[in-house]
Amino acid sequence: MSIKDNLNTIKSELHEGVTLVAVSKTKPNKDILEAYEVGQRIFGENKVQEMVQKWEDLPKDIEWHMIGHVQRNKVKYMAEFVSLIHGVDSPRLLKEINKQAKKHDRVVPCLLQIHIAEEDTKFGLDKAELEELIESDAFKTMENIKIVGLMGMATFTDDESQVRREFAQLKSMFDDLKTKLNDITILSMGMSGDYRLAIEEGSTMVRIGSSIFGARNYT
């Protein structure tokens, strides 16, 4: 199937209130334009340099989401244009985003990445770290970032009940955060392999790559 067909099939499955981020990492501009032609405007990338290059080359009404792990020294390259940063997992990173956003007189929307997978991965805050961050004085004085929700990745497994449990845990942290901060509207969970489960568990934003653009070739 073509990119257009894939995209239209997936969009027909998403009910109202679920936003699609088309994950275009490693894919060429012509693939992105094919999705653009059928109305897709939100694209996700996981490397800052690649996203900057695509932002320069492609139509300016595309909203670019940074979905990958962000190194602090790369924030300055995307602060001017990035629409949403999904993977914020430390106070130091948040502070740097705030600093760079200020230079461009912007308020950059961010999601805090939560570690929900039972498998061991490096990235994401746990519940205590999330609490600590939002209670901190430093956070309260940051005027050029806005936390708008949470992001998480479930364990890569066939065990549906485990994936469901991890998404449910993130949803409950999301509901809790809504009682503590204003403007919490985005729960970014679900990829090609698990977005249907994620939506059933309350996702409001899915990040889908290979089911739209085909398998990635990293060589």
Ligand X SMILES: *Cc1c(COP(=O)(O)O)cnc(C)c1O
Distance CA 188, CA 38 (A): 23
Q: Which is nearer to ligand X, 193 or 202 (CB)?
A: 193
CA nearest neighbour of 10 among 38, 30, 32, 37: 38
Q: 206 pairs with which residues across the strands?
A: 20
Q: Which residue sits closest to ligand X, CB atoms considered?
A: 209
187 lies in the site for ligand X, by CB under 6 A: no
Check residue 155 for interaction with ligand X (CB under 6 A).
Answer: no
| Residue 142 CB partners (closer than 8 Å, separation 6+) | 94, 95, 98
Query: Considering beta carbons, is residue 180 or 216 the nearer one to ligand X?
Result: 216
| 208 touching ligand X, by CB under 6 A | yes
Tokens of 57: 């080359």
Q: Does 157 bind ligand X (CB under 6 A)?
A: no
Placement of tokens 């740097």 in the chain: 96
Task: Count interface residues toward ligand X (CB under 6 A).
Answer: 13
Work out whether 51 is an interface residue with ligand X (CB under 6 A): no
Specify the stretch interacting with ligand X by CB under 6 A; choose among 54-62, 155-163, 186-194, 197-205: 186-194
- Give all strands (DSSP E) within the chain, no chain letters: 19-23, 42-45, 63-66, 84-88, 108-114, 145-152, 186-188, 205-208
Nearer to ligand X, 62 or 142 (CB): 62
Q: Site mask, ligand X, residues 63-82, x = CB under 6 A? A: ----xx--------------
List the one residue from 150, 191, 198, 205 that touches ligand X (CB under 6 A): 191
Residues 121, 30: Cα–Cα separation, whole Å = 33
149 makes contact with ligand X (CB under 6 A): no
158: left (phi over 0), alpha (psi -120 to 50) or beta: alpha
Interface segment toward ligand X; rule CB under 6 A; list 73-81, 116-124, 127-135, 204-212 = 204-212
Interface residues toward ligand X, by CB under 6 A: 23, 25, 46, 67-68, 191-193, 207-211
